[in-house]
Structure 1
């Protein structure tokens, strides 16, 4: 511990100074009459403002050369007490070549030109708010930290565009309630502008960004003249109402709900977000799979409140938001608590969220503060005695309170030290949990080396018991130049547990990982970019201190000037002792040596028809086991408004070995053939950037077939002894099939306001007929009860200042 402390102090001293270089600047002009945000730059206010110009190449060339003379870019900036305004001129000597694919908000990675504004209100080199518009009029926004970009961030701003024979133009109004900045007379903001030209496959930036060194957020220019802002009250309301009709199994159910999301500016740099009486009924479906492993499936977060503005709470990977309103703690214990003649009438799969609040922001000294709190309702299963008709409740989750507190001190425009605490408090004798972490991310002033790591302590309290745990990581890397390397050490003891608020798949490990890579940043005659990387891993258990397995491999990535990309990789895994698959503490199963290869190709998305193909193959050396997977993703752009993407994935794993069950005497292992097929469709028709019809379809089928009836008892040394397993009473064969369709019409009828009509069709089946083909399994699937849901959701945006202005008028 003392050595670690001295190492950190020495590294801090090494990075504590920062060189100040000459930077580009743009003058912000105070105005009295704001422009009309229509994308037509004929407002008198723009005529007298000097533009920022002379953009640099960002990619593929990155040598400091200026933009093409035929594709000049100019930007003007103005402000008043309500907002900042921008006018952008994107000249093009042949505007007929400008691609203009229509998409909806935040879907900016389409076949359309792009203009972006990156504003850093603290000029800290790390935190930016980015605003986008495409040449088809699609807008987007994101929060950026270093090279990471989070499009779940959504604020209300206005932007529009126009096009003529000289190029295309964009106009922005960004209200102060969309930004966070310190309360000072003179604002020291930094900024950068980016332009992508799709048909040329080029990107420019106003302030030069050297992609070989540091992060893109460290290269902003300055804003001058921004002073004495008197912003209005930041109180934004998003009331919503939602109605739904669902039919399932011959029964019809009607639901109606109403609630509100609130954003309130506690100060110019701190914001409170709250969701009151939330309803997530229109959240998109989860991509559920057949999970045969020892760990739960990690699901994406699709609820807007839990993905927007949560980047600070993600520090240390201690926050898995699906825990909130997720499966009740004791849901699976209901079966074991049934008395004779009792049956389960209801057993909710999720706890109901009552409300959630988050407060976050940064001080002028770059101290980030975040507070998160959510409350879920008590959840119970309903049980009925079939003889007496008595009904009782079995509590599966108590009233629960989820909390996160974060302090994040950033400095030197490239480093931070953070303290994080998460806690879950439950009533009624359920388990409580607490995790605390000290994290650091340190780079030297030339951004050539990086030291990252942290320590985490967990405490889980159940009645009459307290369990404490520890986890740490330390990573050191070279982050500058074409040759780069990385080495990391990861450790956790047997009692570390962060699963109440986070997600953790393993503990009790002592692993080392390393990587060496080579990458080009200037295009060659053959390639715009390529990267080669080699990696190795040594795995150990902490207690007892034994090796669990070694592995190594390489990966490659290439992209040609034509935008055709491809890559390949290979890896080798030595004999591995898996201490998690047996589901019993201290026991392990030994897997034999194996090797695999993988590869992909991706064609030019600028063409109407494009495709991606990915594949992987693996073989085991000392047993008859193999694996193969292939995914084919064709896409077709019928027009600038109609786009379709299809995916078909197939996988075969022959003679796999895995856990079947255990009792007090033995752990049972079975040999199985696993096969899966996934088909998915995502298609959209965009009437304009504000209205669209989207269909999302997914069918996933998978079987685990133990037809060879090869079963084993797991020995203490990890080997297997053949065993005559009772398959009639404990049949492990599985046929899993799930079908989902979402057909949605969304209309963003005003800034921040939208109407969504959603039709959802869902079918699910899980049985033991593992010998059925995909077609026959699909026939069985359609014999199950179908769920049909039709819902309408209306959200209306209210800025309290507009109400005040109405009363004044």
Structure 2
């Protein structure tokens, strides 16, 4: 454990060093805003003609933020804001003047899709004035609203609360009017609130972003520049209880059989205090979650996918500390297997997922900056069905018992730009199944002047499984300069051989002792040609922990350029030395040696403000020292905006790997590799027609085809020194050739018929085929795909938002 002790000493030394670096003020051009308590509530219609707005002071004098700080805001583009509050909500009025409002970009989109070709206005509110946590409420010039949660190193658009915002236009510009109820906010219960805020105006056509409180480009983070809000006192907020009951009906057909299903449940948000909120989902149903982008997996690691379930995407920033929580584990594939098949038995059905009975999370932050999070979920018993092909009898085998998932996290924020956290995750399975526990210490600390930042984590895993109790350890440490045009970083990553967090987290590799160093140069003020560019170099040296041997070194040169006309391009060149891969052989302690290789990537991205735009990427890699391997890929993603309501995006990705070698099989302790040609073609369509900011038809289509062809019948067996020797592989041990084809189509109509309430009608079609016919072309593969049974699903889901304060009279009547 000497590496563990060394890592902890480094952590402590760097934390102490940063704590004594002198502070640098962020208060230049500092403003403050006086919030006014009101009694006459404005009508939220975007017209700003309520008498109350005429009585409030306007705040203006915005600054340039992007593409650079230089220059002043022309009078014709001035912006003014007004802020008010009562015991129910916060109210904002924004006046955004424009010399030609009819020429503004106004692309329609739906909730949270605010990074479109439209102007936008953002109210960024920090109810703790801590320079770190911030809730942003956004509206576009087409009336689309969005919200996000900004934390130390992330902006999460999965964060969703219910608020109102409407816009209007006249010959002088456009206007926005907000009502943000207190059940959408978290703040401490004190007499005088310590809030801060900033306001952002994005002028898409003019390619500028203005902010009310000055933000210096390239120094610190945006929330550190928020200005104080004064005057918010003696708030007596209502009960923070909101209900989201839902009902869902499904009808599906597959292989001639039709099934129907109806489910109902409810999500609950309850304010345990002014700062802490309980989120719970009762009898959850995630049947309308987006499809996973499945590919043919030839590697040694499991294929993982992003989270599509809303409950696990919203408000989870605390639980992501330390990267030990992978939400797809909850309700994922069963952890058990069927190991006791009798003669003439086969697995008739093995469930692809485990049903979730309920889940809840409690999170919030105290007035002293301590964040507290608690997560708990329970999944039900899950069985596989075994059938005897002689007697036709069936039996069930338990493959996942009743399971409890639990997370506790504490996160202390420091100096408006740093945090130190501890987290514990636990998975307890009923009976003689595997249990797991993981604990972590995480830090992300910068000096007050934001010159340097040190970050890292130390994670201890504990697993109680079939082989008894095992404990593992991982540490990561990075130190970097984060100010100025020239920046650099050094880092170290370590893991022992028994580190395993895969019960509630995800890690593919352990047993490493790696080092990294890098430097970059970038600009933050525009030049005559570029709004921004960055050039960086990175070197990585990889080693095993046990045995202490080198596994390879890589060097990378990366560049990114963004012109004043919003055309982006860049290139990358990297070189990998000879490397030893200890995972591809699938046997502990064995490794295969890969020759040195060099590769490059180039990308182009045109101006998305134009009706037609595109992204284009090309990759190429070649292996050296007589190795015949080559790989190349082309990705082209054109898009066309037919109108402000209709956008269509196409994407084609073609990749080819010639004479690639990889793992085939293990036969009688011999590890077989084979030389293969791999071709992947992926086509997708994303189309959206928006009737208005509340109703839209969306099309999502994806077809992925892959062939793996061992056409030359060149097979080898792995030697102890990582080299390979020619061998003959008998296809009766398993044909490695593959023809893999999958088709997914989602067509939906969404209607946000009231704040927080939505109806979705979804048609889903899926087809899948996999066989060994690796020599057929794409057309023939597609024809065979359509010979397979198709799955058709039509579902209707309705979610309704209920605020307890609007219906509490019903409870009063029932109790009287």
Could you say which TM-score interval applies, normalised by the shorter chain?
Answer: over 0.9
Find the aligned partners of 1:700 and 1:15 in 2 and give their Cα distance.
53
| 1:156 correspondence with 2:162 | yes
Task: Identify the residue that residue 306 of structure 1 maps to in structure 2.
Answer: 312
* Cα contact 2:194–2:229 (8 A) shared by 1: yes
Task: Identify the residue that residue 30 of structure 1 maps to in structure 2.
Answer: 37
Find the aligned partners of 1:60 and 1:16 in 2 and give their Cα distance.
30
Shift of 1:427: 1.1
Shift of 1:649: 0.4
Q: Pick the aligned partner of 1:264 from 254, 264, 270.
A: 270
Shift of 1:390: 2.7
Classify 1:20/1:634 alpha carbon distance in 2 versus 1 (closer, same or farther; 3 Å): closer
| 1:747 correspondence with 2:754 | no
Secondary structure of the 2:669 match is coil
Secondary structure of the 1:732 match is coil
Shift of 1:51: 1.0
Stretch of structure 1 that moved more, 727-736 or 265-274: 727-736
* Cα contact 2:654–2:680 (8 A) shared by 1: yes
Find the aligned partners of 2:256 and 2:575 in 1 and give their Cα distance.
53
* Cα contact 1:703–1:736 (8 A) shared by 2: yes
CA displacement 1:379-437 (0-9 Å, x = unmatched): 11111223333321111111111111100000100111100101111112110011101
CA displacement 1:651-670 (0-9 Å, x = unmatched): 00011111111144211111
Shift of 1:561: 1.1
Find the aligned partners of 1:431 and 1:659 in 2 and give their Cα distance.
29
* Cα contact 1:17–1:412 (8 A) shared by 2: no
Secondary structure of the 2:807 match is helix
* Cα contact 2:26–2:225 (8 A) shared by 1: no
Any residues of structure 2 matched to 1:424-463 within 5 Å, and which? 424-463=427-466
Q: Pick the aligned partner of 1:212 from 215, 218, 223.
A: 218
Classify 1:271/1:209 alpha carbon distance in 2 versus 1 (closer, same or farther; 3 Å): same
| 1:232 correspondence with 2:238 | yes
Classify 1:166/1:642 alpha carbon distance in 2 versus 1 (closer, same or farther; 3 Å): same
Any residues of structure 2 matched to 1:255-654 within 5 Å, and which? 255-330=261-336, 333-334=337-338, 336-463=339-466, 465-622=468-625, 623-654=627-658
Find the aligned partners of 2:251 and 2:468 in 1 and give their Cα distance.
46
Q: Which runs of 5+ in 2 are unaligned?
A: none
Task: Identify the residue that residue 776 of structure 2 maps to in structure 1.
Answer: 772
Q: Which runs of 5+ in 1 are unaligned?
A: none
Find the aligned partners of 1:421 and 1:742 in 2 and give their Cα distance.
38
Find the aligned partners of 1:15 and 1:233 in 2 and give their Cα distance.
44
CA displacement 1:361-395 (0-9 Å, x = unmatched): 00000000000011111111111223333321111
Find the aligned partners of 2:532 and 2:520 in 1 and give their Cα distance.
13
Q: How many residue pairs end up in the alignment?
A: 805
**Aligned-pair RMSD on alpha carbons?**
1.3
Task: Identify the residue that residue 151 of structure 2 maps to in structure 1.
Answer: 145
Classify 1:415/1:685 alpha carbon distance in 2 versus 1 (closer, same or farther; 3 Å): same
Find the aligned partners of 2:58 and 2:637 in 1 and give their Cα distance.
44
The TM-score, its normalising length taken from structure 1, stands at 0.98
CA displacement 1:94-144 (0-9 Å, x = unmatched): 112211000000000111000000000000000000000000000000000
Find the aligned partners of 1:337 and 1:165 in 2 and give their Cα distance.
77
* Cα contact 1:146–1:216 (8 A) shared by 2: no
Q: Pick the aligned partner of 2:111 from 73, 96, 105.
A: 105
Find the aligned partners of 2:283 and 2:267 in 1 and give their Cα distance.
9
Shift of 1:297: 1.5
Find the aligned partners of 1:371 and 1:807 in 2 and give their Cα distance.
30
* Cα contact 2:18–2:452 (8 A) shared by 1: no
Shift of 1:10: 2.2
Secondary structure of the 2:13 match is helix
* Cα contact 1:131–1:139 (8 A) shared by 2: yes
* Cα contact 2:630–2:657 (8 A) shared by 1: yes
Find the aligned partners of 2:209 and 2:569 in 1 and give their Cα distance.
21
CA displacement 1:469-491 (0-9 Å, x = unmatched): 01001100000001011111000
Shift of 1:16: 8.7
Shift of 1:19: 4.8
CA displacement 1:654-698 (0-9 Å, x = unmatched): 111111111442111111111000000000100000000000000
Find the aligned partners of 2:520 and 2:274 in 1 and give their Cα distance.
43
Shift of 1:516: 0.6
Find the aligned partners of 1:8 and 1:567 in 2 and give their Cα distance.
34
Find the aligned partners of 1:69 and 1:806 in 2 and give their Cα distance.
52
Find the aligned partners of 1:297 and 1:317 in 2 and give their Cα distance.
17
| 1:732 correspondence with 2:736 | yes
Shift of 1:17: 6.0
Shift of 1:70: 1.5
CA displacement 1:764-792 (0-9 Å, x = unmatched): 00110011111110000000000000000
Find the aligned partners of 2:669 and 2:696 in 1 and give their Cα distance.
60
Shift of 1:600: 0.5
Shift of 1:729: 3.8
* Cα contact 2:452–2:482 (8 A) shared by 1: yes
Find the aligned partners of 2:519 and 2:15 in 1 and give their Cα distance.
27
* Cα contact 2:26–2:224 (8 A) shared by 1: no
* Cα contact 1:54–1:66 (8 A) shared by 2: no
Shift of 1:15: 5.2
Q: Pick the aligned partner of 1:61 from 61, 68, 73.
A: 68
Shift of 1:572: 0.3
Secondary structure of the 1:337 match is coil
Find the aligned partners of 2:613 and 2:728 in 1 and give their Cα distance.
52
| 1:50 correspondence with 2:57 | yes
Find the aligned partners of 2:716 and 2:376 in 1 and give their Cα distance.
48
Find the aligned partners of 1:152 and 1:724 in 2 and give their Cα distance.
52
